[in-house]
């Protein structure tokens, strides 16, 4: 599989001429985000993870485009044709096998009830947790690790990496971070890469890896 980092929390996964995209939100300006896409996975309903207008236009242009997401996304955006999924479910689409893990978004504010959040394990290889620290019940070779958010602190990110012990981990959820801030994140990840003997690093917009 080939994984390309697009804006913020969005990644494009390509395999055998099929394309799966996770979390194309409003901070993902790339025109190619949905170009030729077969399947879209949306972890939760926040706008930085789902641009409903762009997805509606994409489904209008290609009625075969399938969107999988928690029920909360379907409820929030009735104009989209969403196939609801939840924790413990598995499905296949466009040649990809996806296992769903997790229930809730991490706590962002004491007065805000977390919405539903589904993490997606793609082909048993790549895990996108959305806005959560969800730990699947199996080893994850490649982790897409959130690196900055209102709900995230550095010690929690480090603890998540150490608990998951991936062979590879690449950053997502970085639209709020300056270049200076990302350099600081990179330095901490270098320490974790050495500790865990793994490929752990900043995944910048446009970066691509093969797994």
- Check residue 29 and give its pLDDT: 81
- Check residue 146 and give its pLDDT: 97
At 16, the pLDDT band (50, 70, 90 cuts) reads very high
CA distance 170 to 175: 15
**Mean pLDDT, range 201-205, rounded to an integer:** 95
CA distance 31 to 38: 16
- Check residue 32 and give its pLDDT: 76
CA distances to 12, 147, 171 from 33, rounded to whole Å, are: 7, 21, 18
What DSSP string describes 75-93? HH-TTS-EEE--TT-EEEE
Cβ pair 19, 13 in contact under 8 A? yes
What DSSP string describes 150-174? TT--HHHHHHHHHHH--SEEEEE--
**Mean pLDDT, range 91-102, rounded to an integer:** 97
**Which of 18-22, 28-32, 116-120, 173-177 has the least mean pLDDT?**
28-32
What are the tens digits of pLDDT across the range 125-143?
999 999 999 999 999 999 9
Quote the percentage of the chain above a pLDDT of 90. Answer: 96
At 97, the pLDDT band (50, 70, 90 cuts) reads very high
- Which of these, 112, 103, 110, 158, lies nearest to 131 by C-alpha position? 103
- Check residue 31 and give its pLDDT: 75
pLDDT, averaged across the chain:
96
What are the tens digits of pLDDT across the range 18-75?
999 999 999 998 777 899 999 999 999 999 999 999 999 999 999 999 999 999 999 9
**Mean pLDDT, range 175-200, rounded to an integer:** 94
Pairing verdict, β 90-93 and 82-84: unpaired
- Check residue 30 and give its pLDDT: 76
């Amino acid at each position: 599989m080939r994984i390309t980092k697009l804006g913020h929390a969005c990644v494009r996964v390509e395999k055998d001429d099929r394309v799966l995209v996770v979390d194309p939100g409003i901070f993902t300006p790339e025109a190619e985000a949905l170009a030729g896409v077969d399947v879209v996975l949306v972890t939760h309903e926040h706008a930085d993870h789902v641009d409903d207008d762009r997805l509606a236009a994409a489904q209008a242009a290609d009625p075969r485009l399938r969107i999988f997401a928690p029920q909360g996304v379907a409820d929030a955006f009735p104009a989209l044709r969403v196939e609801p999924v939840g924790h413990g479910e598995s499905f296949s689409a466009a040649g990809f096998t996806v296992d769903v893990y997790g229930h809730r978004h991490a706590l962002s504010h004491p007065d805000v009830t977390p919405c539903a959040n589904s993490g997606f394990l793609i082909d048993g290889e790549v895990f996108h947790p959305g806005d959560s620290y969800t730990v699947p019940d199996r080893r994850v070779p490649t982790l897409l690790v959130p690196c900055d958010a209102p709900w995230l602190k550095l010690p929690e990110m480090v603890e998540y990496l150490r608990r998951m012990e991936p062979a590879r981990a690449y950053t997502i959820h970085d639209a709020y971070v300056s270049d200076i801030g990302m350099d600081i994140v990179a330095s901490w990840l270098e320490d974790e890469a050495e500790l865990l003997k793994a490929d752990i690093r900043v995944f910048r917009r446009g970066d691509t890896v093969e797994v």
